[in-house]
Structure 1
Amino acid sequence: MKKIAVLIEDNFNEFELIYPYYRLKEEGFESILVGPQAKVYHSKVGLEMKADFSIDEINFDEFDGVVIPGGYAPDLLRRNEKILSFVRKMFESNKLVGAICHAGWVLISAKIVNGVTMTCFYSIKDDVKNAGAKYVDQSVVVDNNLITSRGPNDLPDFMKEIIKFLKK
C-alpha cells in the first residue's frame, strides 16, 4: 500500500486538506497527516484536525508522496526546514509532490520550482514566476512528478491526476 503524507499546519484550507486526505483513503492509499508537531491544528475557520505524526517522527523512505494543501498554512510550513527538506527529497526522488493553492510557497522555499511548469492561486503567481517557474492558469498542471492546482474548485481535476500518478 502506498503511503502519502498530507501536510498540515494552522490556517489550512478545509477543502484542500480534507478532500485529498479522504480521497486517497478511498483509493486504498495510506493517507497520513504530518505537521511540524503531532498536535491539533486549526483551519482558517477553526476546524480542528490532529496530525498523525510530526515531521521528526516520520521516515522519508516509507512515503511515496506528499500533498500540500493551501490556505495560509503554507506560509507557516515554509518556515520549517525539515518540512522543506522532506518536500525537496520527494521531488528529487521522483515521488509525488502535489500542491494546491498557496502551497506553491512551500515549493518555492524548497527550491524546486526553477524550470518547472506549474499553476497556483493567482495571488502568488508572481512569486512562482520570480522563483523561475513557468506559470500557467489551468485547473491542474502535471510536470513529471509535480502536480499543482489553483484552488478548491479544481480539487476534482487535482485528485484525478494525483491518483493517476500513484497508480502507475
Structure 2
Amino acid sequence: MELTHFDEEGRAKMVDVSDKSETMRVATARGKIEMQPETLERIRSGQIAKGDVLAVAQVAGIMAAKQTSQLIPMCHPLAITGAKLNFEIVPPRTIEVEGIVKVTGKTGVEMEALTAVSVAALTIYDMCKAIDKTMVIGEIRLMEKTGGKSGHFVRKEDHNG
C-alpha cells in the first residue's frame, strides 16, 4: 500500500481530495483510562472537586474532534455533521471511552474519532490528577469506519471484549 502524505521527493504534503466523491463517512474509536478503584468510585459518585468528570470529558472530546485539523498537520478541515462520546465504567478501575464521528465529505473522520477519544481520556486525567497520578491512558484504536474508496473497516480483534 502506498503512503499518500509524501510527494515524489519524499516531502510531506496534504493529500488532494478534489476529485473524490462526497459520501457519508463514520468512524468509531475506543480507548480506556485506568485508575485507582477509589478514583473511579469518586468519579461515579460525583465526588471530584472540579465537577462532573464525564460531562466535561464529553464536551472536550467533541471540541477536540472539531479541532483535529489544527492539531494533526496533514488532516483536512472537515465540517463534522455529528460527534458523540460514550463512557462505560468498568469496575474496579477502568473507564472505556468511545468516540463516534460523522461527516458527509471527501475524506474520512478516523483521526477526528481518535482525537476525540484521546482528549476525552486526557480530560479525565486532568480532572482527577490531584487525587490519582497513577492513571494510565491506553489502547486508543480505530474500531470501525464506513464510507469512502477504501470501504468498510471493522477491527477483528478487540482485547476489551
Give the alignment's TM-score, normalised by structure 2. Answer: 0.28
Which structure shows the bigger proportion of residues in strand conformation?
2
Larger radius of gyration: 2
Looking at both structures, which has the greater relative contact order when contacts are Cα pairs under 8 Å and sequence separation is at least 6? 2
Give the alignment's TM-score, normalised by structure 1. Answer: 0.27
